Structure 1
């Protein structure tokens, strides 16, 4: 069971997928500093333990749990959800984990295109498993990791696995658009059902490893000449800063369901966390309904609303 906070009340318990690296690591570190219990849902236990040790060094008293969860394997997602649920209440899920594919099309353990299957379907399944627990929380939240890349693509639900024509960038961008479309639709359905659970989408802007605060064993910067790094800072930021919209969406008292959080700077590339605008097609209800039904059929799971 989760530990108690300083005032004797139970700590809020927040699940972060992909918590051992990149944005997920910094979300974990930032959340731990607020006093919540963070469940680090990671594909590799060894890497998760390394990340957890570093968080504890930087945040004395950090309350962390580790659960093995491979979003590219629905059986692993099911087992992870059972372990998470058996460990105590679930107040918030930060659905952060994701993959970027390669030039050659690859598939998940269940035969789905790797990026659509991991970034969207894996989280769709995890949310379906955890939604009853989130609904039982005082004010459950689900944070979905969006991307500015959603602006330049549309979903092709006739060929969601890109069998006929695969392009890596398009596959990634479509997977993130699917995440966002589902996140917004989930909140609409939760509101209609009178649920207290909030579904929020957040994105990191243009977040690069080379501009990220040093974390031994976690951040791997490549050497770049100073004249290159300077201009990079005008249009991009570190992953530590990019994590802040996700952390705020997970903890902010004034965050509302259905909102889209990201950097407040030019083109949403850098800046402080703020409510920003998503492209209209990410909130298309007709497309969202098709995506929902497709996702439920492929995962054989149906999120229980209300």
Structure 2
């Protein structure tokens, strides 16, 4: 399938797809795009009111959208477990798009379990959710897990001796490290799934450089700031809207030619903009030595362990 063909979405009728952080940004547009393909979309969101507004907005675009709301706070391991149990009780999960996350925090903050907020939400929360949902994903005919990475992984290395950045905290570095952890886990999970003989596939996708100001308008969902037209024009040369940035994530979730262990993102310059395509992650995101340490640390901190069957 060509990159241009990937500008649209393949059909996913009757598939059940869970999207975390579905009430805004990338998660919202992934959910809208999936609903348009006929998938049943589980909106896994922290705030019920925002989730309901998102569902209303999706139905304004896709009147026959099949949606379910499950309250999920990735910064709270108890909430994550409860959400997974609720989702699994309804049957197999064909795909999980692990999208929710915290982007930037100037001061160091912690989750309800005491983890640094960005590492604790973006990585540990999803590590726990994936672990709890694996049996339901394995019960699907060809279950798939899409971990949402970032081009920010290029500029960081994991410090697993101080993963919570207690000694020195910098918000942008905390974000980059959390996304590198997401990607390292995603690639390692697929390797272990293959070794175990599982039919589940794990892969990573990223949205490029996606900005709210370039995003299609959705009342109550998108929030644009006024900016001069020349600046908007300049932004369009190196960035795109979140609606377009969501497309690699959507394609990774339901594309027929997608394989485990792959990395999907925009096909443009420096992977900043463009249509969904196979792209390359930095070599350090594939380190098995680092991945083993991260896996063991994550399991110990969350007190859960992925069951690979």
Normalising by structure 2, report the TM-score: 0.95
What is the 5 A alignment of 1:1-306? 11-306=14-309
Structure 1 CA distance, aligned partners of 2:80 and 2:244? 29
Once the two structures are superposed, residues 55-100 of structure 1 have per-residue CA deviations (whole angstroms, 9 ceiling, x without a partner) of 0110011000000000000000011011111122211100000012
Deviation at 1:101, TM superposition (A): 3.5
1:155–1:177 CA contact under 8 A, matched in 2: yes
**1:136: how far off?**
1.1
Report if aligned partners of 1:99, 1:115 keep a CA contact under 8 Å in 2: yes
Query: 2:267, 2:45 → 1: CA distance?
Result: 30
Structure 1 residue 24 displacement after superposition: 0.3
Q: Secondary structure at the match of 1:106?
A: coil
Tell me the distance in 2 between the aligned counterparts of 1:229 and 1:11: 39
Q: Which runs of 4+ in 1 moved over 4 A?
A: none
Check conservation: 2:101, 2:122, Cα contact below 8 A: yes
Query: Conserved in 1, the CA contact under 8 Å of 2:13 and 2:38?
Result: no
Q: CA deviation at 1:103?
A: 1.3
Contact 1:101-1:114 at 8 Å conserved across structures: no
Unaligned runs of 5+ in 2: 1-11
Comparing both chains, which one has the higher relative contact order based on Cα–Cα distances under 8 Å and sequence gaps of 6 or more? 2
Change (3 A) 1:276 1:10: closer
- What root-mean-square deviation, in Å, do the aligned CA atoms of Structure 1 and Structure 2 show? 1.0
Count residues in correspondence: 298
| Alpha-carbon distance in 2 for matches of 1:190, 1:102 | 34
2-structure distance, mates of 1:11, 1:253? 15
Aligned equivalents of 2:71, 2:203: Cα separation in 1: 24
Secondary structure of residue in 2 paired with 1:289: helix
2: CA distance between counterparts of 1:121 and 1:273?
A: 27
Conserved 8 A contact 2:13-2:39: no
Give the whole-Å Cα distance in 2 for the aligned partners of 1:102 and 1:145: 19
Report what 1:3 is aligned to: none
The CA deviation string for residues 191-220 of structure 1, in whole angstroms up to 9 with x for no partner, is 111111010100000000000000000010
Contact 1:142 1:198 in 2 (8 A): yes
In the alignment, what sits opposite 1:5? none
3-state SS of paired residue (1:55)? helix
For 2:106 and 2:59, locate their aligned partners in 1 and report how far apart those are by CA, in whole Å: 38
Whether the 8 Å CA contact 1:68–1:80 is kept in 2: the answer is yes
